[in-house]
Amino acid sequence: MTSRWWAVIATACAAVLLMSLAVVQSATAAPAWPVLRNGSTGANVSTAQYLLRDRGYDIAVDGEFGPATENTVLTFQQSQGYGADGVVGAETWPGLISTVREGDSGDAVAAAQTALNKFGYGLAVDGEFGSATASAVTDFQSTKGLSADGVVGPQTWQSLLGEGGGDDGGGCAVPAEPDPEVLKTVYRTGIELGVSDRVMLAGFEAGVVESNMNNLDCGDRDSLGVFQQRPSQGWGTPEQIMNVSYASHAFFTPAIEVAANNPDMSAGQVAQSVQVSAYPDRYDAVEATALALIERAKGL
């Protein structure tokens, strides 16, 4: 056999080897399931607590893996025949998750919304799998190279949980309920500044998306507060941003100008012009929630 043919064969073998390696890499590309145990905190812990609730366990969702959560995990593991160690890891997660899709509701949906919010989607954790949640799921799947079908199944769950945090759950846990004090302060600040109904709605839409109207001391990179403003982007010092009145002034002041110069903009578009989010459609998607919270703030 000539040297030319040996070269052809060698090239073909190398190509087959590279393809085999690519298949192996693809098969192992999914992130590892996170490991949660007593003492862990964060969004993944809240997600696990919602999933335990979905399985029928009466447990608080507080993002804190304490004795109550550990005992509930032990009970769940025993019921499934798993190794009962009170640790949520690679054996427990697959039995804990539930596939959810648009139209579903309940604690498993709230778990998915909590996990998505680790990646900055700012969903209201209401347990309702509507269009905003479906859009966030599809976008997440696309960015991670998953089948973008909008269904949160095992692969999507593993990517949601296995990224964006270490063993302690990582991320930034967003409370399921708005903080009444934040509602009052944002609304009062808007009234003091004489904002229009459209600008007030823009502020509440931004607050719902970014923090579910809570004054968060964490977020993506250095983001903080109800509007997830970043000190590194000139919004103020961390101490200032964590002052809800200051943060509200910082949002409403440019929003007033944007709305005045763009009378045809929706409230969500005004919010986007101020926030400059990577997901511009999220604000208008929560209009109904924001309007209801404005009415609630008036009552407070």
What does the alpha-carbon distance between residue 15 and residue 9 come to, in Å, rounded to a whole number?
A: 10
Domain span holding position 120: 43-162
What confidence score (pLDDT) does residue 30 get? 66
Residue 174 within a domain:
no
- The pair phi, psi for residue 36, each rounded to 5°, is -115, 135
Say whether both 196 and 288 belong to one domain.
yes
Say whether both 246 and 288 belong to one domain.
yes
What confidence score (pLDDT) does residue 278 get? 74
Q: What is the pLDDT of residues 214-233, one digit of tens each?
A: 999 887 778 899 999 999 99
Say whether both 105 and 82 belong to one domain.
yes
Does the pTM surpass 0.85? The reply is no
Residue 268 pLDDT greater than 90, yes or no: yes
Mean pLDDT of 92-120: 94
Residue 29: pLDDT band (50, 70, 90) is: low
Residue 169 within a domain:
no
What confidence score (pLDDT) does residue 260 get? 97
Q: State the Rg of the chain over Cα.
A: 23
What does the alpha-carbon distance between residue 107 and residue 127 come to, in Å, rounded to a whole number?
A: 6
Mean pLDDT of the chain: 87
In the three-class reduction of DSSP (H, G, I as helix; E, B as strand; rest coil), residue 244 is classed as helix
Residue 80 within a domain:
yes
Residue 4: pLDDT band (50, 70, 90) is: low
Total domains present in the chain: 3
What does the alpha-carbon distance between residue 218 and residue 221 come to, in Å, rounded to a whole number?
A: 8
Mean pLDDT of 182-211: 97
What confidence score (pLDDT) does residue 2 get? 56
Q: What is the pLDDT of residues 244-265, one digit of tens each?
A: 999 999 999 999 999 999 999 9
- Burial of residue 145, with CB atoms counted within 10 A of its CB: 0-12 exposed, 13-18 middle, 19 or more buried: exposed
Specify the range with the lowest mean pLDDT, choosing from 1-15, 44-58, 140-154: 1-15
Smallest CA-to-CA distance from 268 within 250, 282, 249, 253 is with 282
Residue 168 within a domain:
no
Query: Are the C-beta atoms of residues 95 and 84 closer than 8 Å to each other?
Result: no
Domain's final residue, options 98, 129, 162: 162
Q: Which residues contact 124 (CB under 8 A, 6 or more apart)?
A: 113, 132, 208, 212, 286, 289
Say whether both 188 and 294 belong to one domain.
yes
Query: Are the C-beta atoms of residues 124 and 286 closer than 8 Å to each other?
Result: yes
Q: What is the pLDDT of residues 122-177, one digit of tens each?
A: 889 999 999 999 999 999 999 889 999 999 999 999 999 987 543 343 445 677 78
What confidence score (pLDDT) does residue 218 get? 82
CA dihedral 27, 28, 30, 32 (to 10 degrees): 150
Query: Are the C-beta atoms of residues 134 and 9 closer than 8 Å to each other?
Result: no
Residue 255 within a domain:
yes
Domain's final residue, options 162, 190, 221: 162
Q: How many helices (H) and strands (E) does the chain have?
A: 14, 0
What does the alpha-carbon distance between residue 156 and residue 115 come to, in Å, rounded to a whole number?
A: 10
